[in-house]
Amino acid sequence: MDIRSTLTDLSDAFNAHDLDRIMALFADDCILEMPRGSAPWGARFEGKPSVRQALASRFEGLPDVHYGNGEHFVDSSAKTGISKWILTGTTRDGVQKEVRGCDFYTFRDGKVIRKDSYWKIVE
């Protein structure tokens, strides 16, 4: 599998807000960990339906969300990849967001089995 190409495909799908394309790249038993939550790992979503719902809420909360200035790093031997980006978007309340973040991806059989997201806290 070409992890770098998959990271680029994921980035393109996220910027298109295309949940079908995104979820086609995820395994059925995938895990998504988002930065904000009540646990040390943030909020965790397990399984494709739960991950899809969490990602849909991201697009609903930031309807114009965009992940720009993407950089992708790969460790093929560990089947992992990292994508760095700058998230920009506007909340439904009109608040502009701009934050640097990254996603740590783990792959199995060409599919994402874990997406662990981090971003800077802008105050």
CATH number at residue 48: 3.10.450.50
Overall domain count for the chain: 1
Q: pLDDT at position 10, please? A: 97
Residue 49 belongs to domain spanning: 3-119
At 5, the pLDDT band (50, 70, 90 cuts) reads: very high
Contact of 40 with 123, CB cutoff 8 Å: no
Rg of the chain over all Cα atoms, to the nearest angstrom: 14
Q: pLDDT at position 1, please? A: 77
The overall average pLDDT reported for the chain is: 96
Q: pLDDT at position 55, please? A: 98
At 3, the pLDDT band (50, 70, 90 cuts) reads: very high
Contacts (Cβ under 8 Å, ≥6 apart) of 112:
6, 10, 25, 26, 27, 30, 105, 106
* pLDDT above 90: residue 122: no
**What's the pLDDT tens digit per position in 45-87?**
999 999 999 999 999 999 999 999 999 999 989 999 999 999 9
First to last CA, the chain: 40
At 8, the pLDDT band (50, 70, 90 cuts) reads: very high
- Tokens representing 8 are 């680029």
- Tokens representing 9 are 């495909």
